[in-house]
């Protein structure tokens, strides 16, 4: 039986405080550190990636300390149900955050492939990409909060848990077996709808998403179309990643915080990996196996282990699958497809 650490009704200020904290960080990021459109160097991208990961780890440490204090105030009967001491329960919750963060971070690498294709397709220069990703992150945060809120309600029903578990398993097999396909935004229904009701400029207009020209009409720039497509891809991406973290923990606060911390570092990770992301050619197999594992965990393994598959074992399996796929990607050369004349 899981301990509900942050019931929403009781800890509403915690949720609001965390979201306000994140928004302040984002405003500081764009308004101070990246207020001018410029190219992001590899050194700067690696530095910011390290900062975001460090921030997540510091939060997890403080979260662990809070759990120790909070659980220490609870009656012993609460822990007699779980068979854990309050210190073991605190460790379990912090490991759940770490596992959720690792899963979301790893799945985000797969999303970088999509970003590269989108920016290449719309011919978005590197100096403008950070601005697109910044607003893309804001939209992603909004949709993640909605999905997590829905998940915390829907996953109270066992049949929905099984449904999402099977969905993750099928998604994992699809990721492993389906061939990679190139993106064609022109065929996307949403992009077609936008172009039907909005005039689109043939070229960029600085760092502007929308511009009103002398004819009085409002025009969308390629930057805006790229932003819409990135938002759409993130919504699709969230359909996989949010249930995957709910397979690790039933605590909405942990799902929310681990998810958001992983997203916050996505822009820096993109600029650090965009040039070499194609070298992780075996990563999709590792991620596919991770989704299959968390799907099995949600639909079957948790019940098999009395309601909770060991979190330390989960973290070990997830880390091993991702790490091995990355290592083998570097050790094994990607086969070159022969072109037919």
Buried/exposed code over 200-237 (b: 16+ C-beta within 10 A; e: otherwise):
ebeebbeebbebeeeeeeebbbbbbbbbbbbbbbbeeb
Separation of alpha carbons 332 and 279, rounded Å? 10
Confidence of residue 102 (pLDDT cuts 50, 70, 90): very high
**pLDDT, tens digit, 9 for 90 and up, residues 17-36:** 898 988 888 877 766 555 56
What average pLDDT does range 100-112 have in this prediction? Answer: 87
Confidence of residue 335 (pLDDT cuts 50, 70, 90): confident
Q: Are 283 and 327 in contact (CB under 8 A)?
A: no
Closest among 127, 41, 169, 120 to 278, alpha carbons compared: 120
Q: Are 329 and 281 in contact (CB under 8 A)?
A: yes
Q: Are 165 and 298 in contact (CB under 8 A)?
A: yes
- The sheet carrying 218-220 orders its strands as 199-200, 218-220, 210-212
pTM score over 0.95: no
Between 125 and 10, the higher pLDDT residue: 125
Q: Quick one: pLDDT at residue 53?
A: 94
Q: What's the chain's average pLDDT? A: 84
SS3 at position 212? strand
**pLDDT, tens digit, 9 for 90 and up, residues 32-76:** 555 566 677 888 888 989 999 999 999 999 999 998 888 877 766
Q: Which two tokens stand for residue 4?
A: 């509900």
Q: Are 169 and 183 in contact (CB under 8 A)?
A: no
What is the torsion angle, in degrees rounded to the nearest 10, for the CA atoms of residue 308, residue 312, residue 314 and residue 319?
170
Q: Are 292 and 172 in contact (CB under 8 A)?
A: yes
Strand ranges (E), 160-208: 199-200
Confidence of residue 1 (pLDDT cuts 50, 70, 90): very low
**pLDDT, tens digit, 9 for 90 and up, residues 140-163:** 888 888 998 888 888 878 899 899
Query: In this prediction, what percent of the chain has a pLDDT beyond 90?
Result: 26
pLDDT at 77 over 70: no
Q: What does DSSP assign to residue 297? A: I
The full set of domain ranges for the chain reads: 12-330
Q: How many CA atoms, within 13 angstroms, populate the side-chain half-sphere of residue 62?
A: 7
Q: Quick one: pLDDT at residue 341?
A: 45
Q: What does DSSP assign to residue 73? A: T
Q: Are 172 and 295 in contact (CB under 8 A)?
A: yes
What average pLDDT does range 163-184 have in this prediction? Answer: 85
Q: Quick one: pLDDT at residue 76?
A: 66
**What sign for the dihedral angle of Cα 283, 285, 286, 291?**
positive
Q: What is the 3-state secondary structure (H, E, C) of 96-145?
A: HHHHHHHHHHHHHHHHHHHHHHHHHHCCCCHHHHHHHHHHHHHHHHHHHH
Lowest mean pLDDT among 18-22, 175-179, 287-291, 324-328: 175-179
**pLDDT, tens digit, 9 for 90 and up, residues 274-319:** 878 778 889 889 999 999 999 999 998 988 887 788 899 999 999 9
């Amino acid at each position: 039986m899981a301990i509900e650490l942050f019931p929403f009704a009781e800890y509403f200020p915690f949720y609001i405080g965390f979201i306000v904290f994140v928004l302040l960080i984002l405003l500081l990021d764009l308004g101070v550190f990246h207020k001018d459109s410029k190219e992001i160097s590899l050194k700067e991208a690696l530095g910011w990636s390290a900062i975001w990961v460090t921030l997540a780890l510091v939060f997890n440490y403080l979260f662990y300390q809070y759990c120790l204090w909070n659980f220490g105030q609870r009656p012993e009967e609460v822990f007699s149900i779980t068979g854990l001491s309050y210190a073991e329960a605190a460790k379990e919750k912090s490991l759940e955050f770490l596992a959720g963060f690792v899963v979301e971070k790893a799945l985000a690498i797969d999303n970088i492939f999509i970003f590269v294709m989108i920016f290449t397709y719309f011919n978005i220069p590197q100096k403008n990409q950070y601005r697109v990703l910044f607003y893309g992150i804001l939209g992603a945060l909004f949709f993640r909060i909605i999905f997590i809120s829905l998940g915390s309600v829907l996953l109270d029903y066992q049949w929905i848990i099984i449904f999402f578990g099977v969905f993750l398993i099928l998604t994992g097999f699809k990721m492993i077996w389906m061939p990679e396909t190139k993106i064609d935004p022109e065929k996307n229904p949403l992009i077609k709808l936008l172009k039907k009701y909005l005039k689109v400029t043939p070229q960029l207009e600085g760092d502007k998403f929308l511009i009103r020209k002398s004819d009085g009409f409002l025009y969308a720039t390629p930057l805006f179309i790229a932003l819409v497509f990135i938002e759409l891809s993130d919504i699709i991406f969230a359909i996989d990643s949010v249930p995957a973290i709910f397979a690790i923990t039933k605590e909405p606060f942990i799902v929310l915080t681990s998810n958001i911390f992983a997203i916050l570092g996505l822009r820096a990770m993109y600029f650090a990996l965009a040039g070499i992301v194609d070298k992780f050619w075996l990563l999709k197999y590792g991620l596919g196996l991770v989704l299959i594992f968390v799907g099995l965990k949600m639909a079957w393994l948790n019940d098999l282990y009395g309601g909770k598959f060991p979190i330390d074992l989960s973290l070990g399996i997830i880390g091993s699958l991702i790490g091995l796929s990355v290592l083998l990607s570097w050790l094994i050369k990607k086969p070159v497809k022969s072109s037919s004349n």
